[in-house]
Amino acid sequence: MPEGTEQYQSGAITLPPAVKLDDVSVVFNNFTAVKKADLEVPSGQFLAIVGPTGCGKSTLLNVAAGLLPAAHGTCEIFGHPLSGINHEAGYLFQSDSLMPWKTAIDNIAIGLEIRGVKRQDALNQSREWLARVGLQAFGNRYPHQLSGGQRKRIGLAQVLILNPKLILMDEPFGPLDAQTRVLMGDLLLKLWSRDRKAVMFVTHDLEEAITLADRVIIISAGPASHVKGDYLINLPRPRNLQEIRLTTEFAEIHRTLWNDLKEEVLKAYEQGDKS
């Protein structure tokens, strides 16, 4: 078992890993995207996944979400084999999933209503989440009336209001400008620190991965991608994302991980030239 994948202990109770991928391979039309990947995400851990473009980062996330079946190997969620959609997980995509004909408060409440929560109760909880993401004055606005960062905050509230045991995030802040990405990262950590759910966070940005995560894994260049590197991030919490990037400790971690990641980025670049 790689360092950093120990089971999470809460008092006398030992919880199984939130996600366990065992010898997982994913194949598309005879193309092996991921080959024999092993990965454990302990309950309560914030895991970031980085790698070159097209290496299979989102593929691993989709296997954990139950959106993509493995051609070989198994996926367990909290100790149980996954069959079909992972109902323990909340998924935040890169693109907005807000319904344009619904207001911000209704977009946040919709998941609860689908689960059978009475509308007034769902709206009350939605107002609480609007306040948590700093948008209590924007509840009656439609998505087209919100900035990109505001839409991301609504999307985050839309996922977290359902209280998922596992949070899957696929480059959720990718479309945002650099300053807004930092602010969103700080907000995410503030909300996550309340109950520290397990997180799988896919990103191209190594700095973002280091500042957010407890642990960073590096995926090799494809085809037949696999987990190449596995690093614990021993930076203190709570973290201010802008300030922590200025520390010597951050620079040393970044240098180590970049030396590992750079090889895979160059491989992917060379493969692109040959195709």
pLDDT at 269: 77
pLDDT tens profile 62-74? 999 999 999 999 9
Q: Is the pLDDT of residue 43 over 90?
A: yes
Query: Phi and psi for 74 in degrees, rounded to 5?
Result: -130, 155
Class of the domain covering 1-88+198-275: alpha beta
pTM of the entire predicted model: 0.91
Residue 275 pLDDT class (50, 70, 90 cuts): very low
In angstroms, the CA 47 to CA 230 distance is 10
pLDDT tens profile 196-220? 999 999 999 999 999 999 999 999 9
pLDDT at 119: 96
Residue with tokens 């990262």: 185
Contact at 8 Å (CB) between 8 and 46? Answer: no
DSSP-assigned states of every residue in 217-243: EEEPPSSSB-EEEEEE----SS--HHH
Residue 9 pLDDT class (50, 70, 90 cuts): very low
Mean pLDDT of the chain: 91
pLDDT at 122: 97
**For 119-142, what is the mean pLDDT?**
97
- Tokens at 84, concatenated: 């079909």
User: Domains of the chain: which residue ranges?
Assistant: 1-88+198-275
pLDDT at 272: 62
Contact at 8 Å (CB) between 232 and 3? Answer: yes
In angstroms, the CA 136 to CA 124 distance is 12
Residue 150: how many CB atoms within 10 A of its CB?
18
Contact at 8 Å (CB) between 226 and 36? Answer: yes
Contact at 8 Å (CB) between 39 and 20? Answer: yes
pLDDT tens profile 223-234? 899 999 999 999
Residue 61 pLDDT class (50, 70, 90 cuts): very high
Q: Pairing mode, if any, of strands 9-10 and 13-14?
A: antiparallel
DSSP-assigned states of every residue in 84-109: SS-TTEEEE-SS----TTS-HHHHHH
Q: Is the pLDDT of residue 273 over 80?
A: no
pLDDT at 10: 42
Q: Which residues lie closer than 8 Å to 194 by C-beta, 6 or more apart?
A: none
Query: Phi and psi for 7 in degrees, rounded to 5?
Result: -65, 145
